[in-house]
Amino acid sequence: MKVLNIVEAAYRGTLEEQDDPIIWICSAMKGANADIDVLLRGNAVNYAIKAQDASGLSFGGQEQTQPPKIADDLVRLKGKGVKIYVVDDALRERGIEPSELIDGLDFVPRSKLARLFGGYDQVWHW
Amino acid sequence: MSKTLTFALMDPPFENARSTTAMRLIDLAVKRGLNVNVFAYEGAVYLPFAKQAQHPNAVHGRSLEEENHPLPRAWIAAIMKEAAAKGTKVDWVNCGLCVDERGAGEAIEGVRRGSPADFWKFAEGSDNTLVIGTK
């Protein structure tokens, strides 16, 4: 069974979790031999930007020592054989240049999403 | 042989209608004789939290008994009982790490602790899977 995981809601609890919960569960499922890929759309396309820096969170002197590094998490996920698709219309709408992104992404226009979905047994929209 | 559906839930109770909608779908599946797997991820691990308690509601002008406040843990227990009576099964797995970070370890009977590997196993063994994520 091949499953495409769509991530659209971005930065949902990422500071508390120190990751994105959907990218995390995809990584965990891949470790359990799941045949999965990931599609970033909407605000989640920002996850692929290299220059993100969520460090510096501190409350009452208690510092967060392991801030989320979501672009790095995507690179690791890709290294495990998971394709990372990004909706390029969403990048353009947000003024994000391809040069700002991690390497190895697969870009897909919104108009071709249905065809992409057709290549999977299931599509999970988180 | 009964069909099996898997649900992945993420929302905590008492926050939005998605949790109630999920319960409606699970209940309907059980009523139709289907087996149901549930993987509760993130805040959804509080859906079967055993310490959920009813309360009176002064704004409504009702006592605890009159208010009879709905509790998701009671809904889940009722659906599990309904499934048992029908000879089907509701297999509910709470994400263990999500439970730990929330201190939500006290779940109702019939709920077990697991991991994303259980979710993948559920999905592989099901006729279909519905993810209801937090928005």
Please give the domain boundaries of chain A with CATH numbers for all domains.
2-54+64-125 (3.40.1260.10)
ipTM of the prediction: 0.90
A80 close to B (CB below 8 A): no
Question: What is the distance between the alpha carbons of residues B55 and A74, in angstroms, rounded to a whole number?
Answer: 45
Per-residue b or e along B38-74, where b marks 16 or more CB atoms closer than 10 Å to that residue's CB: bbbbbbbbbbbbeebeeeeeeeeeeeeeeeeeebbbe
Percentage of chain A with pLDDT > 90? 100
B112 DSSP β-pair partners: B93
Cα separation, A63 vs B131, whole angstroms: 34
The confidence band for A70, taking pLDDT boundaries of 50, 70 and 90, is very high
- What would the two tokens of residue B65 be? 């008994």
pTM higher than the cut 0.90: yes
The domain locations on chain B are: 4-132
For residue B135, is pLDDT > 90? no
Q: How confident is the model at residue B7 (pLDDT cuts 50, 70, 90)?
A: very high
- Which residues lie closer than 8 Å to A99 by C-beta, 6 or more apart? none
| A60 CA: distance to closest CA in chain B (Å) | 21
B-chain residues within 8 Å CB-CB of A122? 123, 128-129
CA nearest neighbour of A23 among A99, A97, A82: A82
Instruction: Check if the beta carbon of residue A1 is closer than 8 Å to that of residue A122.
Output: yes
pLDDT beyond 80 at A39 = yes
Q: What does the pLDDT average to over B19-45?
A: 97
Whose structure tokens read 């919104």? A110
Contact A29 B119 (CB under 8 A): yes
Span A70-80, average pLDDT: 98
A21 to chain B, minimum CA–CA distance in Å?
8
- Could you tell me the pLDDT band of residue B70, with boundaries at 50, 70 and 90? very high
In B19-105, which ranges are E strands? 35-40, 90-95
Integer Cα distance of A14 and A16 in angstroms: 5
pLDDT digits (tens, 9 = 90+) for B79-121: 999 999 999 999 999 999 999 999 999 999 999 999 999 999 9
Q: Is the pLDDT of residue A26 over 80?
A: yes
Chain centroid, CA B62 distance in Å = 27
**Joined tokens for residue A42:** 């909407």
Chain A residues with CB under 8 Å of B115 CB are 28, 32
Q: Would you state the pLDDT for residue B37?
A: 98
Write the residue in A21, A28, A122 that is nearest to B129 by C-beta.
Answer: A122
Per-residue confidence band for B129, with pLDDT thresholds at 50, 70 and 90? very high
| CB-closest option in A1, A25, A122 to B41 | A25
Q: Which CATH number, 3.20.20.70, 3.40.1260.10, 2.40.30.10, 2.40.37.10, labels domain B4-132?
A: 3.40.1260.10
* Any A CB within 8 A of B45 CB: no
